[in-house]
Chain A
Amino acid sequence: MFSARLFLALFAAAMPSIGVAQDNADLGRAIFQDRQLGLCLLCHPDPAASMSPQADLAPPLNNIGARLSAKDIKEHLTSPDKFNPQTIMPAYGRAQGLTNVSRRFVGRPILAPNELDAVVAYLSQLRAP
């Protein structure tokens, strides 16, 4: 978990400034696919892979960039309960008001703000109907 994060930080830092936006989206994709970091693939199928079995607890996101603005995507990540009060999707920026959080994670959101932004950049690029 720690090493994945370190790797991603180095990966981001090593990128020259050309195509910064693309780099950020690539970082977002890596976070999205990392089962210890983004955890998205616990519930969502992976738009970039067709191997099975895939998670089927949440809708595919293949076309999410065409359907939602970056701002709306971010709101889905930080406040999924706004759209569905019964949602099982965790609020990604939230660190308070939770019950019995493991000592390893207490007081920390699942993703840091820069990681969230990278994931939003990745999702914004997904436009395959």
Chain B
Amino acid sequence: MRAAVSLAMSLAFQLAVSPAVCGDRVPGSGFMGLELQAMQADPSSNPASLWVADGKTLWNTAAGIRQKSCADCHGDAAVSMRGVAARYPSPVKGTVRIISLHQKITECQTFRQRASPSEPENHDGLALETYVGVQSSGMPIEPPHGVAMDRAIATGRRIYFQRQGQLNLSCAQCHDQRAGQHLGGAIIPQAHPTGYPIYRLEWQTVGSLQRRLRGCISGVRAQPPPFDAPSLINLEVYLMYRARGMLLDTPAVRP
């Protein structure tokens, strides 16, 4: 068991130390210095490991009116949650409504546990999402297919190429056309959502992809949509589609 864990850790270490470049697409870690890459790759130095550990505890803790734990229904997360984060956001079965992984987790909290759902960026919610996310680490991003997804991709792409805010800039102008260059002192990455939730040094905490997106939207002095707003979900869907086939490296560390 111990040996398997340390083998998995050293494999993960090697994966992240040479960021998994996929054609012309480079994950965010490929734009970081070696020190940060090493911090991300080694669970003993990756600050997000704390969130993974908390997530594991929560996974096994009974909660809500039903006093059920996630594990009571899903068993071992390493088995039941493997690959799940690689295909979210996903349509709700039998509908065209697309929800994020965070929303899926809050659905189980609300309807399966009868507990109160984690607010966006709440510690426990992020811990659970990070723990679920880590089960897909090393797996390729594989968005589902279908009409609802196609529509979300198209809307997300439109937002991505739309100039907005007082600075009148589109996501594409930075992340497609100027990746690798410097905005102020920061290197512009390609905006691939491979590592979420991430530990960001600037935040000094773990945060979601939507928090990151809202940051970029505020950065151009545009009005950020509220968490879980359809436009943010559509952007997430487009980014996952754009990064399809790239390997997840949750939990990533960013400057």
Chain A residues in contact with chain B, CB under 8 A? Answer: 35, 39, 41-43, 53-57, 88, 90-91, 98-105, 108, 110
Contacts and interface: CB of A to CB of B under 8 A. Distances in A.
Contact of A99 (B163, B173, B178, B183): B163
B162 A101 contact: no
A60 B187 CA distance: 18
A42 B174 CA distance: 12
Contact of B182 (A39, A55, A110): A55
B182 A99 contact: no
Contacts of A99: 162-165, 168, 222
Contacts of A104: 221
B4 interface: no
Contacts of A54: 182, 185
B133 to A, nearest CB: 30
Contacts of B205: none
Interface string B181-225: 111110100000000000000000000000000000010011110
Given A39-B167, A90-B166, A91-B168, A101 B221 contact: yes
Contact of A57 (B164, B181, B221): B181
A2 to B, nearest CB: 15
Contacts of A102: 165-166, 218, 221-224
12 contacts: A55-B183, A57-B181, A57-B182, A88-B169, A88-B173, A91-B168, A98-B165, A99-B164, A99-B168, A102-B166, A102-B218, A110-B167
Contacts of B223: 100-103
Q: Categorize the interface residue count of chain B.
A: 20 to 34
Contacts of B221: 101-102, 104-105
Interface string B135-166: 00000000000000000000000000011111
A54 B167 CA distance: 19
Nearest to B218: A102
A98 B183 contact: no
Contacts, number: 64
Interface centre among B164, B218, B221 (most CB of A within 10 A): B221
Given A57-B178, A88-B173, A101 B166 contact: yes
Interface string B6-31: 00000000000000000000000000
A56 B185 CA distance: 9
Contacts of A55: 182-185
Contact of A90 (B167, B178, B181): B167
In the A-B complex, the 4 residue pairs with the closest CB atoms: A105-B166, A99-B164, A100-B164, A100-B222
Interface in B223-245: 223-224
B172 to A, nearest CB: 11
A100 B167 CA distance: 11
Nearest to B163: A99
A90 B168 contact: yes
A2 B225 CA distance: 24
Contacts of A35: 184
Contacts of A110: 166-167
A71 B184 CA distance: 27
Contact of B166 (A41, A42, A53, A98): A98
A51 to B, nearest CB: 9
A43 B181 CA distance: 10
Contact of B183 (A43, A90, A100, A103): A43
